[in-house]
Chain A
């Protein structure tokens, strides 16, 4: 009998995906290095996506950007008194604080109640110099004061603009506390940072890796098997307080299959081995390709995202001065010379909307009525002429005997960007701008000696993307203090080197403007300035491509939630009785 079964399995080959056994099989092209690291020492998207199944937070956002309480009993607000802003005599906000009360039924997966001590433990380690978190904003200025074991207030001084939109993390102190104390004793007098680093890895890997799965979690699922390089299986955490009614109607297990090659991922979808894809997987082109082969077996989605594709113009160094790239008219001319509408229609079926600001349309700060720089070669030529560049005998613009030749770089091997380059190169050529394509591997482009060192003249235009969260927008990308220099360790993001005093002043002001309406006004002006000067040529906001089979409900995401795991508890099959609450927009 067993042999017959084995032979059947061998011949049929298919994985047990789908509603048949009320499970969900998700494909992704990346495997996380670790999962449920409370301090997020790796910040990969796939880690965040999987952590969505395993974790819980005091408050969380839904697909519409609306906050809801998870571990907390309610969403803090000024109206209910849980969010407080303290001003000085001049009216400036000097600190703000948020009070949270933990639900009585909030428990770790081993049944231990979640207490204030778990948040305190998390914050203590987050701010410990030995813990290699990439940055500590805003936790380096946060302090937790416990009212009792279930209620605490977190105070930010200086104040934190998004204090009511975010919440501190938590870590199971009853599980990790003793090991942390041992780590602390062993390394507190250690001079060699490498030794401390190795000890930290030992500590963390005991709770987060394939060999040592997280011992407890707080979210709707818990990890039960992780076969390195192959798959990760999660099963329901029965101690999670937010499980839906009629739990049997919702998926019982979620299996992630790690398929690094995206073409192989495609074959897996076409052959019905996967119920859905995660957010790290298909390219846009592959999504378009799959959309043609759906035949009712799956559906392809293109979800508007928060990743902004653009071309930085280098305004620093002698070369940029010689080429007049530090003159806004020159940059405006370059933008008028390209037909972005036609480009997105030709390459992206118009699914990736042209942008005219670095802020996405979904954000409350987005300014719609800015100059849209519609394709106008005549305006482009007029602007170049105004700066002194006139066509030579070969049609190429010249000034003082020097031809206008720009070096245009992007990440080599990114076929979408390379195709965009080809189109833009020919459009610029049509107005007399000669563009040389000089691409480099991403390790070079994003390495220490390229984008951040614009003053060396290694690049004139660089195409890449920023991920802009629609809520936590501070205008950091173009502030003057964000220009990478030796003094700031080349840590800023303003790679174009654009320095506008009014923009930077407004940006500083907006960082401490707690009134949303006034903040919108400040960003309105900032976007007007930016749009007039265009230090970067805005291209489009990327969409996230994924597929899922019909009947899978509550597997959705938006630019706010970013990953379908935000609503992990409610994911299920309609045929099994799962109730649909959110539709994919």
Chain B
């Protein structure tokens, strides 16, 4: 398995190089650049100013030349400065944005999986029961409802209606990161303050994840329960609980590992709509803003990080199969 893993790691290098070239090219070939925005609407700008600004931002070079300059710097760990924020792109992403995103997406994935997997199993085992119908109804609503709409509803309810109904006793903040609580208030107050701001976006983000994972788990479980070996186990007189957890569940959970493995890079990419609705300064919004304003260095850091994570987690997922499924062995 070690040789297999090593071979896959080596194969990643040319793959990532091609990805970086494609991302850089696509970003550079979008219409407009930061200097265009400065030129437009400024009656005092001269052709000399334009030439000077283009040279300063390196935009007077063909995109392929700029790509190799970027690559040359990137391999030394220098990913340049953010055009929009005037700080190193790495610092902007890894200090200012990624921690916020992980604070939101990791609990969302963990909690939603912990809730969704048992619900999915229950829904499959008690197929066509009232609860199964209720859970199925919930899943379809949660998957169908647009996140921006659910988010807006949640904001209006918890930030405006709930305080009105309870005379201001209960409310949740309408978006933002929080954390402005003075340290003197004590760690309890500071933690609860952060939690208070986290709660709404977390709930909205989890809603959809619970629905998707639960339906996925239910479908896998139902398929597994019809397999011959499950019937055989039952025919042998094994207890239902043993059949379910020892035989069916271990097989049904394999696709969930794939789902989780592929979800992890997504955790780093943020949740752009949830982040936007709740003014949560995370990765999704950062990537979108950088693409809109043509902040090349930030775009490259974000998308390359996601590319690396995707290929790494694909490998880890493949390796994890061997752990959960005894039939799979790599050589």
Chains A and B form a bound pair: yes
Q: Is the CB of A201 within 8 A of B81?
A: yes
Q: Which residues of B lie under 8 Å from residue A467 when comparing CB positions?
A: 41
B175:A267 contact, CB within 8 angstroms: yes
Whether B41 pairs with A193 at a CB distance below 8 angstroms is no
Known interface pairs A129-B52, A259-B279, A446-B36; A14-B160 also in contact (CB < 8 Å): no
Judge whether B179 is part of the interface by a CB distance below 8 angstroms: yes
Contact B57 A197 (CB under 8 A): yes
Known: A194-B58, A227-B179. Is A267-B192 also a contact (CB below 8 A)?
Answer: no
Chain B minimum-CB-distance residue to A492: B43
Taking CB atoms, residues of chain A closer than 8 Å to B112 are none
Whether A248 is near chain B, meaning CB under 8 Å from some CB there, is no
Interface string of A14-51 (1 = CB under 8 A from B): 11000000000000000001100000000100000000
Give A196-219 interface residues, CB cut-off 8 Å to B. Answer: 196-198, 200-202, 204-205, 208-211
Residues of B close to A391: CB separation below 8 A: none
Listed stretches B13-21, B136-144, B162-170; interface member:
B162-170
A230-B177, A493-B41 known; A260-B156 Cβ under 8 A: no
Q: Looking at the complex, which one of A134, A263, A273 makes contact with B53 (CB distance below 8 Å)?
A: A134
* Interface-lining segment among B180-188, B234-242, B250-258: B180-188
Interface 0/1 of B265-301, CB less than 8 Å to A: 0000000000011110100010000001010000000
Which residues of chain B are near A261, meaning CB under 8 Å? 175, 276-279
- B58 proximity list for chain A (CB < 8 A): 193-194, 197
Are the CB atoms of A273 and B173 closer together than 8 Å? Answer: yes
Q: Would you call A466 and B41 a contact (CB within 8 A)?
A: yes
User: What residue in chain B is nearest A465 (Cβ atoms)?
Assistant: B41
Q: Which one of B85-93, B207-215, B309-317 contacts A?
A: B85-93
- Of chain A, the residue at the smallest CB distance from B55 is A193
Query: Within residues 483 to 527 of chain A, which ones have a CB less than 8 A from any CB in chain B?
Result: 488-493
**Known contacts A259-B176, A271-B174, A489 near B32 by CB under 8 Å:** no
| Partner-binding segment picked from A3-11, A93-101, A371-379, A555-563 | A3-11
A273 touches B31 (CB 8 A): no
User: A449 and B31 in contact (CB under 8 A), knowing A6-B192, A9-B192, A10-B192?
Assistant: yes
The minimal Cβ–Cβ distance linking A62 to chain B, given in whole angstroms, is 25
Q: By the criterion CB–CB under 8 Å, are B281 and A5 in contact?
A: no
Contact of B96 among A194, A205, A210, A258 (CB under 8 A): A210
CB pair B173–A13 under 8 Å, yes or no, is: yes
The answer to whether B174 and A491 touch across the interface, beta carbons within 8 angstroms, is no
Chain B residues near A231: list those with CB within 8 A: 176-177, 180
Nearest-neighbour CB distance to chain A for B300, whole angstroms, equals 15
State which residues 49-77 of B face A: CB under 8 Å: 49-53, 55-58, 69
Given A9-B192, A134-B49, A467-B41: A447 in contact with B32 (beta carbons within 8 A): yes
Q: Which residues of B contact A245 (CB under 8 A)?
A: none
Q: Is A228 an interface residue (CB 8 A)?
A: yes
Contacts of A13 in B (CB 8 A): 159, 163, 170-173, 196
**Is A583's CB within 8 Å of the partner chain B?**
no
Q: A229-B97, A257-B176, A259-B279 are in contact. Are A444 and B31 (CB under 8 A)?
A: yes
A132, B156: Cβ atoms closer than 8 Å:
no
| A448 CB contacts on chain B under 8 angstroms | 31-32, 36
Across the interface, which residues of A come within 8 angstroms of B193, CB to CB? 6, 9-10
> How distant is the Cα of A489 from the Cα of B175 in the complex, in angstroms?
44
CB <8 Å contact, A488 and B168 = no
Supposing A443-B292, A444-B32, A449-B31 touch, asked if A205 and B81 sit within 8 A by C-beta, the answer is yes
Contact A267 B159 (CB under 8 A): yes
CB of B188 within 8 A of CB of A2, answer yes
> B100 an interface residue at 8 Å Cβ cutoff?
yes
Contacts of A489 in B (CB 8 A): 46-47, 50-51
Contact A443 B32 (CB under 8 A): yes
Interface string of A425-449 (1 = CB under 8 A from B): 0000000000000000001101111
- A12 within 8 Å of B (CB atoms): yes
Known: A2-B188, A135-B49. Is A194-B69 also a contact (CB below 8 A)?
yes
Chain A residues whose CB sits within 8 angstroms of the CB of B292 once the complex forms: 443
A64 interface residue, CB < 8 Å from B? no
Please report the C-alpha to C-alpha distance between residue A231 and residue B276 in the assembled complex, in whole angstroms: 16
Per-residue CB contact flags for chain B residues 106-141 toward chain A (1 = under 8 Å, else 0) read 000000000000000000000000000000000000
Whether the Cβ atoms of A33 and B41 lie closer than 8 Å is: no
For the complex, give the distance between the alpha carbons of A513 and B183 in Å. 60
Give, as a whole number of angstroms, the nearest-CB distance from A58 to chain B.
21
Q: Is A476 among interface residues, defined by CB-CB distance under 8 A?
A: yes
A482 to B43, CA, bound (A): 8
Q: Smallest Cβ distance from B126 to chain A, in angstroms?
A: 37
Q: Which residues of B contact A270 (CB under 8 A)?
A: 159-160
Interface residue B38 (Cβ < 8 Å from any Cβ of A)? yes
B30 at the interface (CB under 8 A from A): yes
Given contacts A135-B42, A193-B55, A197-B56, contact A267 B86 (CB under 8 A): no
A264 within 8 A of B: yes
Bound together, the chains give a CA A476 to CA B87 distance in angstroms of 35
Compute how far the CA of A145 lies from the CA of B131 in the bound complex, rounded to whole angstroms: 84
Instruction: Give every chain A residue within 8 A of B53 (Cβ-Cβ).
Output: 132, 134
Known: A10-B195, A259-B175, A489-B46. 18 other contacts (CB 8 A): A2-B185, A13-B170, A135-B49, A197-B56, A197-B58, A198-B81, A227-B179, A228-B92, A230-B179, A257-B176, A260-B276, A273-B174, A443-B30, A444-B31, A447-B36, A467-B41, A477-B43, A489-B47
28 contacts between A and B (CB under 8 A): A5-B186, A9-B185, A9-B193, A11-B169, A12-B168, A43-B38, A134-B45, A135-B44, A193-B56, A194-B69, A202-B81, A205-B81, A205-B87, A211-B91, A227-B180, A230-B178, A231-B180, A258-B279, A258-B281, A259-B279, A260-B279, A261-B277, A261-B279, A263-B152, A267-B155, A270-B159, A489-B46, A493-B41
Please list the residues of chain B having a beta carbon within 8 angstroms of any beta carbon in chain A. Answer: 30-32, 36-47, 49-53, 55-58, 69, 80-82, 84-87, 91-92, 96-97, 100, 152, 155-156, 159-160, 163, 168-181, 185-186, 188-189, 191-193, 195-196, 276-279, 281, 285, 292, 294
